[in-house]
Amino acid sequence: MKKMIYGVVCVVFLSFLSACGGGADEAEQENATTEEQAGDEQKQTTDVAEGEALYKQSCSSCHGGDLVSGGAPDLNKVGSTYSKDEILGIIENGKGNMPAGILTGDDAAAVASWLAEKK
């Protein structure tokens, strides 16, 4: 009996949630699009700052805090040689003496974005 009551409560709750959706008019859709674009710009700014911080934490010991004074290859103009995706591949898979997996996922992507701007 408890299972049947639980099932009915769940169905009623889900029906309530689906009824709350409703369609948005054009003004609401435009406002949502503008907010998404502003959010994307904010995320890009955050990614760049995060990329620099992650570089300093995980990469600067080999490549140098100024991108040139470490024992590893200089990165001060790496964006003119490699695309963001190529840099990401190097970060994730390693290259030469650089081991794979020092950074992964969003962290690797943030550093790749930041380094891709170095031209």
Q: Residue 35: its pLDDT value, please?
A: 61
Domain 47-119 in CATH 1.10.760.10? The answer is yes
Nearest to 43 by CA among 118, 117, 106: 106
Q: Residue 5: its pLDDT value, please?
A: 72
Tally Cβ neighbours within 10 Å of residue 106.
11
Q: Over the chain (119 residues), what is each successive 10-residue block's mean pLDDT?
A: 66 59 57 58 65 95 93 95 97 95 95 95
Q: What are phi and psi of 73, to 5 degrees?
A: -55, 145
Q: What are phi and psi of 38, to 5 degrees?
A: -65, -40
Q: Residue 62: its pLDDT value, please?
A: 95
Adjacent-strand bridge partners of 95? 98
Q: Residue 82: its pLDDT value, please?
A: 97
**Nearest-angstrom CA–CA distance, 97 and 104:** 18
Domain boundaries, the chain: 47-119
